[in-house]
Amino acid sequence: MTTLLTLTQSGTAVLTLNRPERANSFNFEMVSELRNALAEAEKNPQVRCIVITGGGKVFSAGQDISEMKRGTEISYREHLEKTYNPLILQIRNMGKPVVAAVNGPCAGAAFGVALACDLRIAKSTAYFVVGFSGIALAPDSGVSLLLPTYIGLGRAQEYFYSNKPITAHQAYEWGMVNQVGGFNYQALVKQIADELASGPSEAFAAGKKAFNHAVLPNLEESLDYEGILQEAAGKTAEHHEGVAAFLGKRKPKYT
């Protein structure tokens, strides 16, 4: 079964994360398929807007922890350099608008993917979890830069430390989410995508470059530094305990 579903209609490419048995968590295959689909959408003149969403009732639980811990130990920095770092940069560097249609829980690396998108449209029942501290890791996938950019440093640190969920309505009030939809969620996503697809594409591309230059000039450097921190964090006893507790569905015991 493919890990990504692609549908193009009315000038919009809808990319649906499709690992329902794993809460749409990312593995290497799904990251690769998403990057390829984004590249194809960027080249396709019929596509003027991209929507990334999750299949079923979950946007994505983030990185599939079981994949990271299968077999021999891997380098977290090397993993980020092959997966999320280029994915986040690809989304930010695309000339076409990219919308995250957050239909349900969104955590960890998937949170970074949603934050990298140009707009976030959330279902009223959706929520966001930073996630990384739950297994004793530092933020990655651009979260260390993008989250405080949207909600402020104090809130970003609070929700990283506590791992509490940020509701869709909280996210909207803080400016992290652009629109929240209830029963009209699907229609709202389509309306916004249609408006973007019918807009001035060259001006949109230029505007995105301007915003990147003004607000996120150090994104690539931040992604690289996250990898350095994650490499060290991944080797700690705290992280090993956090993963064991996560897989064992128990509360971690840090000493």
Q: Is residue 135 part of a domain?
A: yes
CB 82 within 8 A of CB 75: no
| Count of domains observed in the chain | 1
Q: Is residue 162 part of a domain?
A: yes
CA distances from 254 to 134, 138, 172, 215, 244 (A): 11, 16, 34, 37, 12
Q: Is residue 18 part of a domain?
A: yes
Band of residue 246 on the pLDDT scale cut at 50, 70, 90:
confident
Which distant-in-sequence residues (6+ apart) come within 8 Å of 36 by Cβ? none
State the CATH number of the domain containing residue 67.
3.90.226.10
- pTM (two decimals): 0.96
Specify the pLDDT at position 1.
65
Q: Is residue 36 part of a domain?
A: yes
CA 166 to chain centre: 14
Q: Is residue 208 part of a domain?
A: no
* pLDDT greater than 60 at residue 241: yes
Amino acid at site 254: Y
Q: Is residue 213 part of a domain?
A: no
Range of the domain at 170: 4-183
Express each pLDDT in 74-123 by its tens digit. Answer: 899 999 999 999 999 999 999 999 999 999 999 999 999 999 999 999 99
Specify the pLDDT at position 87.
98
Specify the pLDDT at position 255.
84
Q: Is residue 163 part of a domain?
A: yes
Give the range among 125-129, 211-215, 241-245 with minimum mean pLDDT: 241-245
Q: Is residue 196 part of a domain?
A: no
